[in-house]
Amino acid sequence: MNLPLTKSELIEWFQGLTDVYLASYGEEYQLDTVIKSPTVIPNRNFKEGIPATQVIETRTLSDNLISINYSTIYDYDTFEKLFKENFPNQEYHESKMNSSSNYIYNSKTGWIEKIEISSETETEFEKTGFNMNYEIK
């Protein structure tokens, strides 16, 4: 994903996101619901990918503001089996992964006002992650 570097790139990026989420939200999602669907996360080490569940949660925050949250829940038992099958000579160390993105959408202006993107991985040895926040004023 290429992040915008200039103000005009930032505006273009947010307009694209607004268009995408407006279409998805209007066609598929109901207010104040949680939708869970199985998915596979591509991974260069596992040709089958990593099984996970995509969770989409919509919440009404006020008359005009709607929160749309996308998160991924990994199936750790299947991930462990995949690791042991693909790397039989390596010791498995459990790792926890969490990634999500949250969009605050203003239905009155038709604009995404805030974007939060986060990802975290935790093993017995280390904890890494990042969190990006964009607020549009």
30 burial type by CB count under 10 A (0-12 exposed, 13-18 middle, 19+ buried): exposed
Give the HSE-up count for residue 131: Cα atoms under 13 Å, Cβ half-sphere.
2
**Residue-level pLDDT at 88:** 93
* pLDDT tens by residue, 5-42: 666 776 666 666 655 555 555 445 677 888 888 988 88
Provide the token pair at 64.
């005009």
How confident is the model over 41-87, as pLDDT tens digits?
A: 888 888 888 888 988 888 989 888 888 888 888 888 888 998 899 99
Q: Is residue 58 within a helix (H) or strand (E), and if so which, with residue range?
A: strand 46-60
Per-residue model confidence as pLDDT tens digits over 102-119: 888 888 887 888 888 888
Query: DSSP letter string over 74-97?
Result: E-HHHHHHHHHHH-TTS----EEE
What's the pLDDT at 1? 47
Q: How far apart are CA 98 and CA 120, in angstroms?
A: 5
Using alpha carbons, select from 118, 114, 116 the residue that is nearest to residue 99: 118
Strand partners, 54: 37, 72
Residue 50 falls in which region: left (phi positive, over 0), alpha (psi -120 to 50) or beta: beta
What is the reported pTM? 0.69
Domain parsing of the chain, residue ranges: 7-135
